[in-house]
Structure formats: C-alpha cells, structure tokens
A = this chain, B = another copy of it.
Amino acid sequence: SDPLVIAGKTYQSRLLVGTGKYKDFVETQQAIETSGAEIITVAIRRTNIGQTAGEPNLLDYVPPNRYTMLPNTAGCYSAGEAVRTLRLARELLDDHKLVKLEVLGDPHTLFPNMPETLAAAKTLVAEGFEVMVYCTDDPIQCRMLEDIGCVAVMPLASLIGSGMGILNPWNLKLIIDQARVPVLVDAGVGTASDAAIAMELGCDGVLMNTAIAGAQHPVLMASAMKKAVQAGREAFLAGRVPRKTYQAAPSSPTSGMIGTTAG
C-alpha cells in the first residue's frame, strides 16, 4: 500500500543492504533475511558471483530468484573502470540491467568523484542500464544525474563506513524536494536512528552495509534497521507534531476535571 517503485518495479521494503564485511556467507544470509531487504547490492570486484569457479558463490546464499541483485562498482575510481565492471556484471547476471554506480574520488575518504560519476552515468544509461547512483549531497548534480536518466539518486549521509549518520540534512531535503526519481540515502548510516531520520526527512529508502555487518551482533542490528526504516517511514506519513522551541503546551486539555482548584 506504500510501495517503493524503482525503474517500474515495486518493492515492499525500503531498506537495501550490502553483502560485504560479514564473517561468512551464512551470516550474510541471516542478516539479509532478517533485514527484510528485497534489493541486495554486491561489489562485483570483491564478491564471487560466479567469476571464480570453486570458491563459495554468494548467489547460493542470496539467490537471485528471491532477491533483486544490485551489482555495484565499489572500488572503481574512474568512469571507465565502473562501466567495464557493470558490463561484466550484466554478463554474469544474464543481462541484468539494474545497477548501482559508484565512482570514488580517493581511497582515504571514499568520497564520490562526481565528474567521473556523471560521465559513467551517461554511458551506462545510453547502454540500457537502469542506474541507481551513489553521489554527493549536491542538489544540482543530483538533478543532472536525474536528467541523464538515472532511476534513483543515492546521496551519501556521510563517508562510506564512517557511521557518522546524516551530516547535512538540509542538503538532503533540497534533493528530496526537487527529485522526480526515488532518493535513497547511501553510506554513512551508523545506527537505527540514523535510518529513521533519513526516512523522516522524506527519503524513499536507505542503503547500508557496514552499519549492519560491522555491528557486534549483525543479525540483531539487521532487525533494528528493518524496524527503524519502517518507523521512520510511518512517522513521515503520520505527520509529526511541530517543534515548539519554547512554549510548551500541556498534553491534556487544561479544563481539568477534578482538583484543579482544590489541588
């Protein structure tokens, strides 16, 4: 009744998760299942989905007939690298079109390289990919990515793996208010409330990996994140009370029933 629609396909969950950093594929599987996520992102350059015969294959644990796979270009520092990586993913996944583009600016911050991201997006869209794109929280460049034809924009909350939460909710709000494609926060979420805040701002979804995989108890954190994204979405739809910095109003009508004079 409140689905997320990306590239024409409908999803019930607004939490997207990654597959990196888990102890093993069993834990990956358990956390993903608990999270309720339907879209699972995979770093093609780091995860075996069939390229390496004889090694454990993620797809045996996270089967593509059950989940929507979202190949990503983690570790790519140029448009060329990213495009080549996603072409490979398309081959490995039987002409799969939905992808996550990420082109990084340097290995220390993992901050996006926006000129390369814009260039790669143009190529990929022209080649028929459905491009969800990791980017900075720059409303103008988000609009450019949308104009290029990306199916979702995914601004960072904060640096990948930092767990710092949403550092600039105002930029995020600018992006959300103008976007005509889904806006998902990608990177930087550290704990449940960060995910809830993203949804309360009006984001269409949240993508995370480290916050779950790096928690002391990943499966429990996956449960927390599932509920947090739902809570944030419902709070957004429910219409929160306005903030009043100063004058408190009593929680009950002041025309008291008993004792208001006699005490």
Q: Chain A: residues with CB nearer than 8 A to chain B? A: 18, 20-21, 43-48, 51-52, 74-78, 80-81, 84-85, 88, 105-106, 108-115, 118, 136, 138-141, 143-144, 158-164, 167-168, 170-171, 173-174, 190-193, 196-197, 200, 209-211, 213-218, 220-221, 223-228, 230-235, 237-260, 263
A81 to B259: give the CA distance in the assembly, Å.
Answer: 8
Question: Could you give 14 example pairs across A and B, Cβ below 8 Å?
Answer: A43-B256, A45-B256, A45-B258, A105-B139, A111-B138, A111-B248, A136-B138, A161-B249, A193-B232, A210-B251, A215-B241, A224-B233, A226-B231, A227-B230
A192 to B193: give the CA distance in the assembly, Å.
Answer: 8
Contact of A84 among B232, B257, B263 (CB under 8 A): B263
Known contacts A46-B257, A109-B139, A215-B238, then 7 further A-B pairs from the complex at CB < 8 Å, ordered by chain A residue: A18-B252, A47-B252, A109-B140, A164-B244, A167-B167, A193-B200, A193-B232
- The answer on a CB contact under 8 Å between B113 and A162 is no
- The answer on a CB contact under 8 Å between B258 and A237 is no
A183 to B257: give the CA distance in the assembly, Å.
Answer: 30
- The answer on a CB contact under 8 Å between A44 and B258 is yes
A215 to B223: give the CA distance in the assembly, Å.
Answer: 26
- The answer on a CB contact under 8 Å between B140 and A256 is no
> DSSP majority for the A interface?
loop
- The answer on a CB contact under 8 Å between A237 and B217 is yes
Complex interface: chain B residues within 8 A of A45 (CB): 256-260
Contact of A163 among B242, B253, B258 (CB under 8 A): B242
Decide: A259 near B191, CB < 8 A? Known: A136-B136, A221-B240, A251-B210: no
A25 to B94: give the CA distance in the assembly, Å.
Answer: 57
Decide: A245 near B164, CB < 8 A? Known: A47-B252, A232-B193: yes
